[in-house]
Amino acid sequence: MVGLKAIKSSAHGQIMSGAEMTLQVLAEEGVDTIFGYSGGAILPTYDAVFQYNNQHPDKQINLVVPANEQGAGFMAAGYARASGKVGVALVTSGPGATNTVTPVRDCMADSVPIVVICGQVARSAIGTDAFQEAPVYSIMSSCAKHVFLVKDPKQLAATVRTAFQIARSGRPGPVVIDVPKDVQNWEGAYDSESVLQLHGYQDRTNSASKRKMPEKKKDAFFKLLEQAKKPLLYVGGGVVIADAADALQRFMKQYQLPAVTTLMGIGAVDTTDELCLNMLGMHGAAHANYAVDDCDFLLALGARFDDRVAGIPHKFAANAVIAQIDIDAAEIGKVKPVDWSFVGDLKTALNELMDHGKDFKLDRSSWISHLQKLKKEHAFNFNRESDILQPQEVLEALNAITKGKAIISTGVGQHQMFAAQYFDFKKTRSFLTSGSMGTMGFGLPAAIGAQAANPDALVIDVDGDGSIRMNIGEMETCTTYDIPVKILLLNNHGDGMVVQWQSLYFDNRFSGTDKTLHSKDFVKAAEADGFKFARRVSKGDNLQEVLEAFVNFEGPAFLEVLVDKNSFVFPMVGPGMAYKDMMTGPYIKSRDSGPTEGTLETSDSF
């Protein structure tokens, strides 16, 4: 933790430049890949990357250069999300740094640990509007977990080391280091031991991560669980972040507790397990949302009652006793009052509860039977008779090939929700998506980062024609480095999710969302970027055969599938609606009647 000394390395005391010290710390932190774009203010550190690799042929730090710095940030995020390690981006000053603002904020919103190292103009030029100067500290302070501006070169190594500790500890998040060019060029003795003393942060983090659950707190939990007839787990991304998925699976089995997951919690529970009820929320499974309405005890694990899940807090799990475990005390009762809570490490907390309640047993068979009936009657479904390919149809077919074992990255939009609905995930860190920020353009660079972290894995970017345009330059990054990411583009010639809202809320006024006027040929673009597999399919083609060829191709592959622009994401819980008012659409059965389109009130809230 912050405040503890690092282990003394063999490089301790050697004379190095500031840039060389930065690389030495990265190596000691176990960094094997850097994503970044060079520029004048960061050139000394880029030269240090070259020199380090020249001097360490057996321990290379790979450098992946994207099309722009936003791509670098999202690659670092994809690397971190898929591996659990800290991702690293290295960018220059001014526009290089400001281009990373979006991925930094995205990582902060989804609690993803990355370190962004920015070049800065020399200390003497700061504040003079020098060439490619930007106030990185001020800009990033509202977006990142922590920001450093290195003014004392003697503290550079300690600062970089501390940044990693802050990024990965407690509730993880992005840390930005702004390094003036003259600090990079400065020379001095390398200190391999020091870290910055951030006592307040250290005390809070140590307190939360090491906290043990009091016996009375455990007793109170099992008293509530004993009284519950219809208990349900509400599993969020915090379970993934805490590496608590294995403990959660044991917890579920030991007490026969069914679970719903958030978008960020997908993969924390094997989706093929009978106790898994899939995703809940605005576009969650109908049966998952009905289960929330029916439950009488809801235990939130690393979940924050997001507005996409608990849109009307007092109506969310209205009949349930609410319990919550989270590493961040600020999340306890923030949105919805709780009856029982614990602030601490999730894995530790679950293991402590299991040890304490090892003899606790109750028959949950009738509740589980009820949920299985809901799951069967209100399953995901779509128009299976259409003459136009349905996006759900494509993903269902691809899922039959991947069998829950692929790492799936997505852009943001309808395709994102369809991927969450129609893929199986058997292990944690296998579904990567921009949750809280909902950043279009996330999917492709995040997939590249995930592939760098897992070179032998099957990594598929499920993208949309609107979302992929945001960072389409990263297609060339795939072929430049022969990164075997598979890009599945579901092309409905429009910003599908916005079109869906315009259809339901704005009387079919498709302002700014119709892409049929665009003439981009995505297959030719892929071929121009060097893809050896670049194909397009539509209804009538042998979809299954093409998908298998796509997945099995050695190297980067691109497949565009032309899909129905009128295929909407259902279920849908609109703003101002409770789960009982959920629209199930024309092909999913609602609880009280048949499939329903429902009605919406006009709202300016997306």
Active-site residues: which are they? 69, 131-132, 181, 497
Residues forming beta bridges with residue 490, ordered by sequence position: 464, 561
For the chain, the C-alpha Rg in angstroms (whole number) is 25
Where are the alpha helices (H) located in 169-232, listed in sequence order? Answer: 181-185, 199-210, 215-227
Are the C-beta atoms of residues 156 and 44 closer than 8 Å to each other? no
Q: Is 438 left (phi over 0), alpha (psi -120 to 50) or beta?
A: left
Rounded (5°) CA angle 261-277-311: 50
Residues forming beta bridges with residue 33, ordered by sequence position: 62
* H or E stretch at 62: strand 62-64
Q: Residue 383 and residue 385: Cα distance in Å, rounded? A: 6
* H or E stretch at 321: strand 321-326
Residues forming beta bridges with residue 115, ordered by sequence position: 88, 175
What values do phi and psi take at 255, rounded to 5? -110, 10
Residues forming beta bridges with residue 118, ordered by sequence position: 91, 178
Q: Residue 580 and residue 316: Cα distance in Å, rounded? A: 10
Instruction: Give the three-class secondary structure for 260.
Output: strand
DSSP one-letter code for 92:
-
Report the C-alpha dihedral over residues 234, 238, 243, 248, rounded to 10 degrees: -10
Are the C-beta atoms of residues 408 and 444 closer than 8 Å to each other? no
Tell me whether strands 321-326 and 297-301 are parallel, antiparallel or unpaired: parallel
Q: Edge-to-edge, what's the strand order for the sheet holding 297-301?
A: 276-279, 259-261, 231-235, 297-301, 321-326, 340-343
* H or E stretch at 354: helix 346-356
* H or E stretch at 394: helix 391-402
Report the C-alpha dihedral over residues 158, 163, 168, 170, rounded to 10 degrees: 90
Q: Residue 492 and residue 389: Cα distance in Å, rounded? A: 10
Tally of CB atoms within 10 A around 393: 22
End-to-end distance of the chain based on CA atoms, in angstroms? 39
DSSP for 409-442?
Answer: EE-SSHHHHHHHHH----STT-EE---SS--TT-
Max CA pair span of the chain: 76
What values do phi and psi take at 311, rounded to 5? -55, -40
